[in-house]
A and B are shown apart, each in its own frame.
Chain A
Amino acid sequence: MKTVIETKDLVRKFGEAETQVTALSHVSTSIKEGEFTAIIGPSGSGKTTLLQLIGGLDEPDGGDVLLSGTNIANMSGKQLSDFRRDHIGFIFQSYNLIPVLSAEENIEYIMLLQGVSAAERKARVREMLALVGLEGLGDRRPAQLSGGQQQRVAVARAMASKPDIILADEPTANLDSTTGIALLDTMRDLNAQLNMTFVFSTHDQKIMDRADRLIHLEDGVIQLDETRQS
């Protein structure tokens, strides 16, 4: 399996002088295609920062992030936007759907950015809604959906662009246990079916139980990197 994510000596600091905090300290790791990886650790351990750096949402103070062999530090802002759009899907803790668009339109939006034709967009929206088990609810706006349904739409949106990697930050944090399990099972199925790479930052034991690999972060340093049999 090829390596799709590689970090080399990643350093990220926040604040200045006495108030400076090192969020990540020389983090080097790699994630292979199709892995279902969970970055775990206590609050403030640097999970979200690592995910942000991998996703190109933040710039490191040192080190490199290579996605499919490409160093994102060498990309312009536009190239990075395009790269994120075409290769990375994001799932957020608070769903973060666009409230004025329906579930279908939220999923369609990213494909619109990609310049996908209207007919293909419609077809892919139907496909994604079916994948996440939301057939018949496509015309509802986020406020008309439950938290679990909204997060499913977020998953569908993340996958609609056919990304290589899906980065998910605490995706089950706002969901009840049953809904969380159902969503994780959906994502696990998608991982298995489509060989999509999933990287989670999480505290959730349910995710840890389903992950192929657990990266333990503490104080910005990888303490343990364990690969498990799924």
Chain B
Amino acid sequence: MLSLKLAWRNLFRNTRRTLLTCMLVTSSLVVIILVDGIMLGMIDVMVGGITKTLEGEAQVNRKGFRENFEPELFLSDPDTISLALATDARVAGHAPRVIIGSMIASPYNTTGGLVYGVDANSELGVSRLKEATYEGSYLSGVKREILLGKLMAELLEVSLGDRIIITAAQVDTSEITQALFRVTGLFEFGPEEMDQSLAFINLSAAQPLMGMDGHVHQIAIRFVDPEDAKNKSLPTLINLNKGDVEALGWLDLQPSIGGMIEMSSYASAIVGAVLFVLTSLGVINSMFMSIYERIYEFGVAKAIGTTPRQIITLVLLEAFLLALMACAFGILIGYLASSYFESNGIPMGRMEMSGVLLDGNMYTQVRPYQFVTFPIYVTLLTVAAAIYPAIFASRIVPSRALQRAL
């Protein structure tokens, strides 16, 4: 208890220096909490951008279909798959799709793109096509409806009500087929590639167009718990992986995003490491200054029988108390700052990363571990940074320290 009291009081011999060091450690903790919160927010936006925009959290496709969107690679028994998904409590929604690589022509221009034949109601539970439709109306099941991406509509120089001709090769015969549609809505997902190359028609129109009645190319899935999509041993997906059918979560569907998430966690670690190195240097400097000021006292302490280990313990205890104090402030300030940005966001402007649009504010995410794990790291590292000064103090030779007196 006396050692604790001594260490605590030693901290306040030079209050200004202690507070400055404390602020340094506090700042590092706050920055780490914020950076982690931002990274989590960014990952959330990126994952959300992938899974909520169109792809879904998981997909069932024929093997090889996603490589080139070959129309022949359709699911031959989608009803069984749909039934399995409809009765699975883990699945919140699923949407069957026909995906056609086709020529899309207006009276004024022509472009290539992917036309999705979707079931309007099912799609509501999987993608945000309806929310992205900013002009006109969402699909209602009427045969000749088509939704165009904003950029595609600009390219084709069409607006609501204009005619669009879809030209594609039928699945069975490879014969060229054409169908007429009228633009009923314009959507904007955000990423340029999507808004320029995607169009949506009703599934009931797409299947006969492609000569694939009753068949679909893809079934997109949304889970009740989004974490299920990352679970490679999830029965829902395992049971669907049969023969030439593959059911994959978004991490497998978009390995580049998985890589980016991994990279962002490295980025957090690098930021943390740099901060900790700088903080450690500050702590080492502060502890050394404190020791140099008391070098005579350490000489006395050793003279009266304090062992090197006891001196090390005292210096480390001082560092520990400094870290505790800094962490208390850091947790408070970090929580307030992170909570503020969780509610109000950090203005980030508009940018696209790996096909995901980051637009507007970046909202941090507050997680309990940020206020437990990071302070523990900060405390351990502060104490670790004090080891060198502590060893230095323990090696002070009493006769040299006491030269002015004994």
Q: What residues make up the interface of A, taking CB atoms closer than 8 Å to B?
A: 48, 51-52, 55, 57-58, 77-78, 81-82, 84-86, 88-90, 92-94, 96, 98-101, 105, 108-110, 112-114, 157-158, 161, 167, 169-170
Contact = CB atoms under 8 A, between A and B. Distances in A.
Contacts of A92: 300, 402, 405-406
Given A57-B402, A92-B406, A169-B405, A100 B10 contact: yes
B405 A96 contact: yes
B109 to A, nearest CB: 83
B265 interface: no
B307 to A, nearest CB: 5
B387 interface: no
Contacts of A88: 305
23 contacts: A51-B406, A52-B406, A57-B303, A78-B307, A81-B307, A84-B305, A85-B305, A85-B306, A88-B305, A90-B304, A92-B300, A94-B405, A96-B297, A98-B297, A100-B10, A101-B5, A101-B9, A105-B5, A110-B304, A113-B304, A113-B305, A113-B306, A157-B304
B405 A170 contact: yes
Interface in B280-339: 296-297, 300-310
B113 interface: no
A108 B2 contact: yes
A10 to B, nearest CB: 14
Majority DSSP secondary structure for residues of B touching A: helix
A99 B13 contact: yes
Nearest to B400: A58
Given A96-B296, A99-B13, A113 B310 contact: yes
B3 interface: yes
Nearest to A92: B405
Contact of B406 (A99, A109, A157, A169): A169
Contacts of B402: 52, 57, 92
A86 B303 CA distance: 11
Contact of B305 (A96, A105, A161): A161
B355 interface: no
A109 B6 contact: yes
